[in-house]
Amino acid sequence: MVRILLLAIAALATLATTFSTGAWAQSAATSSYGKAERRDPVFLRFPEMAKRFWEDTETMAASHKSVAVPMPRQCAFTYADAYTKNQMSEREVQDTAVSACKQKLVQLGPLGENYPVDCQCKIVISDGAYVVPRDTMPDQAYGPVSIFYRDNSGNIARLNGVAKYGALIAHDRSVTFSIENQKAEPVCEGTFTNDTVATGRFSLLCFNGKFGGNGTYETKTTAPNDHIIARGSTRGGQPVVMVIGLPAQLAASTYGGI
């Protein structure tokens, strides 16, 4: 009788373990929000990251690979990726990516003059699958923006906020962009028209048509961060400079002298 009871207990324990394992596997499966694709906006936004993720033999073969970007989506103007080295676990690769992303934000400087939200680095892709809902991911390219210009009296003015624009700016002939101020209010619209892979022309219209300008732009793919620098003139013939991809303080110290 005792032997039968012990066998019954062992069977119940095995069943419980099997159920628990199955439940964990189901939970793990539902934690993924779909497979990442080569043409997803986040990869179009960051061509170098896309190359490492999809093309480079060494990184493609890594057992674990993670991508971290600042979130929510309008904050995703930089990134950090990490790939397995030696015997790193998936969690260690994720932690490495988040740490590198945070370090980039610290180096670029405070974002409070551009963003009304708190930008925080998060893992968005791990081992080829999204770990955040796809509808929270950037649908286009975003970046902090600063516009420096002289008004008709010659005084220097500055507008800070967030720009949203087409991710394929280097490939599409014409790309529209929009700008919200630090309070998330729409203030400007414009167009980039490329002449070469890294250069082209821009037009800008703000404050319901009360302010506008045009000129040329250049994309920068070097430190401290990939960014766009546009220079031109207002309708009144005064200089205007627009910087997308650098926080306000860094943009001002680098390009603010007009």
pTM here is: 0.84
Residue length of the chain: 258
Q: How many domains, in total, are found in the chain? A: 2
Tell me whether residue 120 is in a domain.
yes
What is the torsional sign of CA 92, 98, 102, 104? positive
**Whether residue 113 sits in one domain with residue 146:** no
Q: What is the pLDDT along the chain (258 residues), one digit of tens a residue?
A: 444 443 444 444 444 443 333 333 333 333 679 999 999 999 988 989 999 999 999 888 899 999 999 999 999 999 999 999 888 999 999 999 999 999 999 999 999 999 999 999 999 999 999 999 999 999 999 999 999 998 877 788 999 999 999 866 556 778 999 999 999 999 999 999 988 888 999 999 999 988 999 999 999 987 799 999 999 999 888 999 999 999 999 999 999 877
Number of Cβ within a 10 Å radius of residue 172: 13
Q: Does 21 map to a domain?
A: no
pLDDT at position 66 is: 97
- Which residue segment(s) compose the domain that 190 sits in? 141-255
Assigned domain for 119 exists: yes
Q: Which of 112, 136, 160 lies at the terminal end of a domain, its last residue?
A: 136
Integer Cα distance of 43 and 50 in angstroms: 5
Q: Is residue 33 part of a domain?
A: no
What pLDDT is attached to residue 164? Answer: 95
Domain stops at, among 119, 136, 153: 136
- Which residue, 76, 144, 158, is CA-closest to 115? 144
* Dihedral angle sign, alpha carbons of residues 76, 80, 84, 89: negative
* 231 & 198 share domain: yes
